[in-house]
C-alpha cells in the first residue's frame, strides 16, 4: 500500500502532468481553445459580480470627495465675494471723500483770508445737540468763535478748543444764531437753528417784510464771528398767520452737516491760504475720482 507521502507525491505529479498536457494542447489544439472560451463566459460574470461593489464604493468616494471640494470652493468664493464688495464700498467712500476735498479746494479760492482743512472726528450722540469734534486745535491756531465752512456754505463756529481737537457748534443747533441778509432785497434778519428738524428759522421778522420762498440768505457780516458774503441757507416756507405778530420762516441750510466730513477753518483777518495740496488720486487704487 502507498503511504501518505507517496500518495501526495503522486497527486502532485498528476496535476503537474495535467497542466503540461493542457498547455501543449492549448498551443496545438483548437478544441481546447474553444472549451476555454466557453468557460470564460461564466468566469467573466463572476469577475463583474466581484468588481461591482468595489466600483460602487469608488464612485461613492469620488462623489463625496467632489461634494466636499465643491462646498469648500463655494465657501471660498463667498468669502472672496464679500471681500470684493467691501473693497468696492471702500472705493466708493474714498471717491466721495475725494470729491468733498476737491469741492473744498474750489470753495477755498472764494474765501478771503487764511483757511485750513479739518476733518470731523466725532458727532455728539444727543440728537438735540448739533455739535461735532474736529481734528484741529490750539496747536493749529484754532480759536473760540472761529467760523467754519464746508464746500456749500456756513457750517458753524468753534465753541471749545483743546490742544489737538476743537468743538464745532453747528448753525442748526438751538443755541446758534447767525446774522443774515437776503440776496434779493438786502433785508437783514437772524437765523437760529432748529436741532429737531435740522433746519434754520428767521426770528422776529414782521409779517409785512418782503421775504419769499426761494430767497437765498448770506452772512451779513454784522455779527462778531461770521464775515460777510458766505451762503447760509434758502427759504423753503413762509407762513404768515394773522393771529401772530411775526412770520414763521424756515430755511434749508446751505451746508451739509450730515454729509460733510471735511470742513474749512477760516481766519478772516489773516492773509494767505494754509492748505496742503491734496492728491486727487484714490490711494492704492490708481483710480481718479469722477468729476461732479
Do both 234 and 152 map to the same domain? yes
Do both 157 and 262 map to the same domain? yes
Q: What is the pLDDT of residue 14?
A: 76
* Residue 240 near residue 247 (C-beta atoms within 8 A): yes
Do both 235 and 119 map to the same domain? yes
Q: What is the pLDDT of residue 162?
A: 94
Q: Determine, yes or no, domain membership for 100.
A: no
| Residue-number span of the structural domain to which 51 is assigned | 4-58
How would you write the pLDDT of the chain (292 residues) with one tens digit per residue?
Answer: 556 667 677 778 777 777 777 677 666 655 656 666 666 666 666 666 767 776 777 777 777 778 788 888 887 777 777 666 656 655 654 565 566 556 556 655 555 567 888 888 888 767 778 899 999 999 999 999 999 988 788 899 999 999 999 999 999 999 999 999 999 888 999 999 998 888 999 999 998 899 999 999 988 888 777 888 888 999 999 998 888 889 999 999 988 877 778 888 888 766 544 444 334 343 443 434 333 3
Q: Determine, yes or no, domain membership for 78.
A: no
Three-state secondary structure string covering the chain? CCCHHHHHHHHHHHHHHHHHHHHHHHHHCHHHHHHHHHHHHHHHHHHHHHHHHHHHHHHHHHHHHHHHHHHHHHHHHHHHHHHHHHHHHHHHHHHHHHHHHHHHHHHHCCCCCEEEEEEEEEECCCCCCCEEEECCCHHHCCCCCCEEECCCCEEEEEEEECCCCEEEEECCCCCCEEEEEECCCCCEEEEEEECCCCEEEEECCECCCCCCCCCEEEECCCCCCCCCCCEEEEEEEEECCCCCCECEEEEEECCCCCCCCEEEEEECCCCCCCCCCCCCECCCCCCECCCC
Candidates 216, 146, 224; CA nearest to 185 is 216
**Phi/psi class of residue 221: alpha, beta or left (left: φ > 0; alpha: ψ in -120 to 50)?**
left
| CB proximity list for 223: less than 8 A, separation 6 or greater | 177, 178, 179
Q: Determine, yes or no, domain membership for 25.
A: yes
Q: Determine, yes or no, domain membership for 42.
A: yes
Do both 187 and 44 map to the same domain? no
Do both 153 and 240 map to the same domain? yes
Do both 132 and 12 map to the same domain? no
Cell of 252: 434749508
Q: Determine, yes or no, domain membership for 195.
A: yes
Q: What is the CATH number of the domain that holds 189?
A: 2.40.10.340
Candidates 124, 133, 191; CA nearest to 165 is 133
Q: What is the pLDDT of residue 287?
A: 37
Q: Determine, yes or no, domain membership for 236.
A: yes
* Residue 211 near residue 202 (C-beta atoms within 8 A): yes
Per the DSSP assignment, residues forming a β-bridge with 147 are 157
Q: Determine, yes or no, domain membership for 154.
A: yes
Decide: pTM greater than 0.75: no
Q: What's the total number of domains in the chain?
A: 2
Q: What is the pLDDT of residue 113?
A: 65
Amino acid at each position: 500500500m502507498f503511504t501518505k507521502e507517496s500518495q501526495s507525491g503522486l497527486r502532485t505529479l498528476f496535476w503537474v502532468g495535467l497542466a503540461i498536457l493542457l498547455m501543449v494542447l492549448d498551443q496545438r489544439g483548437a478544441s481546447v481553445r474553444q472549451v476555454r472560451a466557453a468557460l470564460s463566459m461564466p468566469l467573466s460574470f463572476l469577475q463583474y459580480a466581484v468588481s461591482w461593489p468595489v466600483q460602487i464604493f469608488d464612485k461613492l468616494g469620488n462623489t463625496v470627495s467632489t461634494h466636499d471640494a465643491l462646498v469648500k470652493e463655494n465657501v471660498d468664493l463667498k468669502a472672496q465675494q464679500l471681500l470684493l464688495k467691501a473693497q468696492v464700498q471702500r472705493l466708493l467712500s474714498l471717491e466721495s471723500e475725494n470729491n468733498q476735498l476737491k469741492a473744498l479746494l474750489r470753495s477755498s479760492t472764494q474765501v478771503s483770508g487764511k483757511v485750513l482743512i479739518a476733518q470731523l472726528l466725532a458727532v455728539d450722540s444727543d440728537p438735540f445737540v448739533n455739535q461735532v469734534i474736529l481734528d484741529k486745535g490750539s496747536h493749529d491756531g484754532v480759536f473760540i468763535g472761529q467760523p467754519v465752512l464746508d464746500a456749500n456754505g456756513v457750517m458753524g463756529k468753534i465753541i471749545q478748543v483743546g490742544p489737538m481737537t476743537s468743538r464745532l457748534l453747528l448753525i442748526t443747533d438751538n443755541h446758534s444764531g447767525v446774522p443774515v441778509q437776503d440776496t434779493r432785497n438786502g433785508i437783514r434778519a437772524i437765523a437760529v437753528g432748529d436741532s429737531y428738524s435740522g433746519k434754520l428759522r428767521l426770528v422776529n421778522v414782521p409779517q409785512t417784510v418782503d421775504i419769499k420762498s426761494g430767497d437765498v440768505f448770506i452772512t451779513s457780516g454784522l455779527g462778531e464771528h461770521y464775515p460777510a458774503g458766505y451762503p447760509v441757507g434758502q427759504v423753503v416756507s413762509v407762513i404768515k398767520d394773522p393771529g401772530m405778530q411775526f412770520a414763521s420762516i424756515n430755511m434749508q441750510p446751505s451746508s451739509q452737516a450730515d454729509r460733510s466730513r471735511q470742513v474749512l477753518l477760516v481766519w478772516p483777518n489773516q492773509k494767505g491760504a494754509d492748505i496742503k495740496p491734496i492728491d486727487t488720486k484714490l490711494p492704492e487704487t490708481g483710480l481718479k475720482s469722477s468729476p461732479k
